[in-house]
Homo-oligomer: A and B are copies of this chain.
Amino acid sequence: MSLWSRADGRAIDEMRPVTIQRHFLEEGEGSVLVKFGKTTVLCVASFTEGVPRWRKDSGLGWVTGEYAMLPRATSDRSSRESVRGKVGGRTHEISRLVGRSLRAAVNMQALGDNTIVLDCDVLQADGGTRTASITGAFVALADAVNWAVAKGIMKPAPILTDSISAVSAGIVDGHAVLDLPYEEDSRADTDMNVVGTGSGKFIEIQGTAEHEPFSRDELGTILDLASIGNAQLAKIQREALLGENAIDARIIGGAW
């Protein structure tokens, strides 16, 4: 086991280089380009006043997400879902995950009668597109909330209760590793996506035994790695949001 090493030379608990570029485009109340290694996702937040019809008169806001891949995000071109005329199962599943994860960080009463849509479009995919999407979308969400507060639409209260990020961890060649690129992901025995808060709690855990069922011990090891990853991501998000063009820190609550 001492001779085993990852194809890209990383330690087992080491993330790929992560960058978060805010204000990538001018359109969008938040516009973030996030990279986990080669994986590149454009996360754009759209703020609109009002909520969907079924949410009317509840006094609560709404946050939702849509995920998609450009046709040549991967090494082979895929046909567009618009051309095929329907959204595929994987797209549906990840869109729902993104929205659900971010909603967990939002004080809907504080958001009030407003809706924020997070569009996560994968420009390049090399494993971890859903975790990069959630991580980048949180930053775009914070920018959108900050925009609304600056506009006076909402008050500078902790509308976001904590930060949210996501990372994958899994078992490859019998080794538990953090943040799997496509090369590892495609042959992992177990692959888990963990959405966590800045204060170290869990929002969503999705673990799948791709080839071998996994034990309670293996699960523990994977969760340990994921927690290391999410702690790093929370720090990077914080630096991005409080660096240049810092947001009003009061809009994010908790230990953050």
Contact = CB atoms under 8 A, between A and B. Distances in A.
A150 interface: no
- Chain A at the B interface: SS class: mixed
A205 B205 contact: yes
Q: How many copies, total?
A: 6
A235 to B, nearest CB: 18
B70 A124 contact: no
A71 interface: yes
Interface in A191-213: 192, 196-197, 199, 201-209, 213
A256 interface: no
A113 interface: no
Contacts of A197: 213
Interface string A96-137: 100010001000000000000101010111000000000000
Interface stretch (A40-48, A55-63, A173-181): A40-48
Given A204-B209, A206-B206, A121 B70 contact: yes
A106 to B, nearest CB: 12
Interface of A: 25-28, 31, 38, 40, 42, 44, 46, 48, 66, 68, 70-75, 77, 80-93, 95-96, 100, 104, 117, 119, 121, 123-125, 162, 192, 196-197, 199, 201-209, 213-216, 219, 223
Given A66-B80, A203-B209, A204-B206, 13 more contacts: A26-B38, A42-B70, A44-B72, A70-B119, A82-B84, A82-B87, A83-B87, A88-B92, A89-B95, A202-B207, A202-B219, A203-B208, A206-B206
